[in-house]
């Protein structure tokens, strides 16, 4: 059977759909993986790396997005060589009222707070300066190839973790930060119902709000630690192309 040839317009439409899916899939996986178990996060990161390469092949000069370099300071409460030990300690600390999140590299590190300003972090962790670690989040410059409206929407969501972390550090009431993030994310959930991946990205931010609200006493350090991890994983995924 002869293969049907696509018109130029159909080719452009198909390419646009593929580009949008790749762009949004990267952000969805990076944001969602942060709250998951280490072994599942490793699996998702592998998916992200493969997706980034596909994204690089499709990228075009249309909408420029920059995630700036950021220095992150974090309160580290434990370092472990395996997932089981890290998870056991995380649960023990949580039972004591100290929620932590696992930052995974060669080792598993339990982080209880994070900030882009050392002064901000030390103000919250007086007497624990020996446990403060630091790292630099790489600047990421990218161009989104999509329709202008869709591209701008995707860019706003990609910037939302950075913006939320800054607001969490500013002294703003946690409930107000959560309300703002949820409002932006919920608009995204309904903005493009035809685009499943865009909707999933927005929903992941709504889920982050729910996660923090479930934390005893609405723990602000834990909110910063998890949001800093989102910023970190998102940059790593986008830079690793």
Alpha-carbon gap, residue 161 to 183, rounded angstroms: 14
Q: Name, in order, each residue with C-beta under 8 angstroms of 154's C-beta and a sequence gap of 6 or more.
A: 20, 23, 24, 27, 144, 146, 198, 201
What confidence tens digit (pLDDT) does each residue in 77-91 have?
999 999 899 999 999
User: Using one digit for the tens of pLDDT, what is the confidence trace for 89-138?
Assistant: 999 998 988 899 999 888 999 999 999 988 877 765 555 556 889 999 99
Q: Mean pLDDT across the chain, nearest whole number?
A: 75
pTM over 0.85: no
Q: What is the mean pLDDT of each run of 10 residues along the chain (241 residues)?
A: 54 52 48 50 51 42 81 93 91 90 90 88 60 91 70 81 93 93 86 63 81 82 91 78 56
């Amino acid at each position: 059977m002869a293969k049907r040839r696509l018109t130029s317009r159909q080719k452009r439409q198909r390419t646009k759909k593929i580009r949008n899916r790749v762009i949004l899939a990267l952000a969805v996986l990076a944001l969602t993986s942060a709250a998951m178990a280490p072994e599942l996060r490793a699996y998702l990161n592998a998916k992200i790396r493969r997706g980034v390469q596909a994204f690089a092949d499709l990228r075009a000069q249309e909408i420029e997005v920059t995630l700036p370099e950021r220095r992150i300071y974090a309160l580290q409460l434990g370092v472990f060589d395996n997932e089981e030990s890290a998870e056991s300690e995380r649960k023990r600390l949580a039972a004591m009222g100290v929620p932590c999140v696992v930052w995974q590299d060669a080792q598993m590190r339990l982080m209880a707070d994070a900030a882009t300003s050392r002064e901000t972090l030390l103000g919250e962790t007086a007497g624990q300066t020996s446990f403060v670690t630091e790292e630099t989040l790489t600047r990421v410059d990218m161009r989104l190839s999509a329709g202008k409206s869709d591209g701008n929407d995707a860019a706003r969501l990609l910037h939302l973790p950075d913006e939320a972390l800054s607001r969490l550090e500013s002294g703003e009431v946690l409930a107000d930060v959560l309300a703002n993030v949820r409002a932006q994310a919920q608009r995204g959930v309904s903005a493009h119902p035809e685009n499943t991946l865009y909707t999933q990205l927005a929903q992941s931010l709504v889920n982050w709000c729910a996660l923090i609200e479930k934390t005893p006493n609405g723990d602000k350090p834990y909110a910063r630690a998890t949001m800093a991890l989102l910023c970190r994983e998102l940059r790593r995924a986008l830079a690793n192309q």
